[in-house]
Amino acid sequence: MLVVIALGGNAILQRGEPLEAENQKRNIETAAKAIAKVAREHTVVLTHGNGPQVGLLALQNEAYPDVSNYPLDVLGAETQGMIGYEFEKALRNELPDAHIAGLFTQTVVDTQDPAFSSPDKFVGPIYSQEQATELARTKGYFMKADGEFFRRVVPSPMPKSIVELNSIKQLVDNGTMVICTGGGGVPVARDESGKWQGVEAVVDKDRASTVLAIDLKADALLVLTDVEGVAINWGKPDQKTIKTATPEQMEEHGFAAGSMGPKVEAANAFVRSGGKIGGIGSLAQALEIVNGQAGTVIRADHNGEVDYH
């Protein structure tokens, strides 16, 4: 099968973990082991998040006031190179005989998207409420609560298409594992003269991965995170994890927009567009999710009631 793996940013830097290069390298090496298990049995296209890295580069920007800050699209491009390099290296060590290529990727967005008037995409490290208030005052950042902490939020327009789609298809057809659409891809749009221009935004990784998986006609889309699957009644005594369901059954439950909601949205959209499997769960169980043995698996052909673990 052709499997698109959308890897959450927590696989690269854990929540609250110092934004150190060595931490990132170690986490990526761990992630590569799980991805390699899938790649030994299926064709894999890997995408990844970049929220903490974009935020870190923005902070480094501000530490050198002698030059103007680089825009978000350029910072996104930088993270694709940084993270893609580490993943390609780690995956080559796990799969020495495999063909692997990291591909710089751009994502088409609409500059009239309402996201530009209502930023909601988290980037960068966590802050206390006091720190967040000061950053909003001094830097003009939009800050929102993320659990018990606060983080900067930026516009996250809906992805329309992947500019390099045909190149990705050619590589996949030739048996290459492709690392692409990092951080949702660098957002771009055509100006009035038809020329491509960067857009000051960050595209949601799960949404861009869905567009990519649909256009590649992939068999499976795995949205991997740090939990074992999609749970209902989260944090309550009757909490339980969904094992198998249809998109319609998943939509009967309300999932938080800031956490599981976008992942369920992505998997549902993929399955409704003809994908066989939309899987959500733990990175460590990636292969088991593909095989229906772990995580939450969304299928259009699931018959009967929702199954639970």
Task: Look at residue 258 in the predicted model and tell me its pLDDT.
Answer: 63
* Options 8, 9, 55, 275, the catalytic residue: 9
Q: Which of 8, 10, 50, 183 is catalytic?
A: 10
Distance CA(103)–CA(97), nearest Å, equals: 19
Average pLDDT over residues 119-129: 85
The per-residue pLDDT of the chain, averaged, comes to 92
Q: Is residue 10 annotated as part of the catalytic site, yes or no?
A: yes
Mean pLDDT, residues 180-198: 96
| CATH ID of 1-109+156-306, from 3.40.1160.10, 1.10.3720.10, 2.70.170.10, 3.90.1170.50 | 3.40.1160.10
Catalytic residue list contains 9? yes
Q: What's the pLDDT tens digit per position in 144-155?
A: 998 899 988 989
Check residue 88 and give its pLDDT: 97
Can 195 be counted among the known catalytic residues? no
198, 73 contact by CB (below 8 A): yes
Mean pLDDT along residues 69-75: 90
The encoded tokens of residue 44 equal: 């894999």
Range in 55-69, 75-89, 104-118, 238-252 with the lowest mean pLDDT: 55-69
Quote the pLDDT of residue 235.
Answer: 78
Mean pLDDT of 115-142: 88
CA-based torsion, 149, 181, 301, 2: positive or negative: negative
Identify whether 144 is a catalytic site residue.
no
Beta strands in the chain (DSSP E): 2-7, 43-48, 99-102, 106-108, 121-127, 142-146, 149-154, 161-162, 176-179, 186-190, 196-198, 220-225, 231-232, 240-245, 277-282, 296-298, 307-308
pLDDT at residue 55 greater than cutoff 90: no
- pLDDT score for 150: 93
The mean pLDDT of 176-191, rounded to a whole number, is 97
Which residue in the list 49, 50, 55, 263 is annotated as catalytic? 263
Q: Alpha helices of 125-284 — where are they, by DSSP H? A: 129-139, 165-173, 205-216, 247-250, 261-272
Query: Which residues neighbour 251 within 8 Å (Cβ) at sequence distance 6 or greater?
Result: 264, 268
Q: Please indicate whether residue 23 is annotated as part of the active site.
A: no
The active-site residue, picked from 121, 183, 243, 295, is 121
Q: What is the reported pLDDT for 53?
A: 87
pLDDT given for residue 163 in this prediction: 98
Q: Looking at the predicted structure, is the pLDDT value of residue 256 above 80?
A: no
- The angle at the Cα of 20, spanning 17 to 24, to the nearest 5 degrees, equals 80
pLDDT reported for residue 302: 93
pLDDT band at 74 (very low <50, low <70, confident <90, very high): very high
Average pLDDT over every residue of 48-69:
86
Amino acid at 229: G
Catalytic residue among 27, 182, 205, 275: 205
Look up the pTM and report it: 0.91
CB contact burial 20-35 (16+ within 10 A = b; e otherwise): eeeebeebbbebbebb
The domain segmentation of the chain, as residue ranges, is 1-109+156-306, 119-153
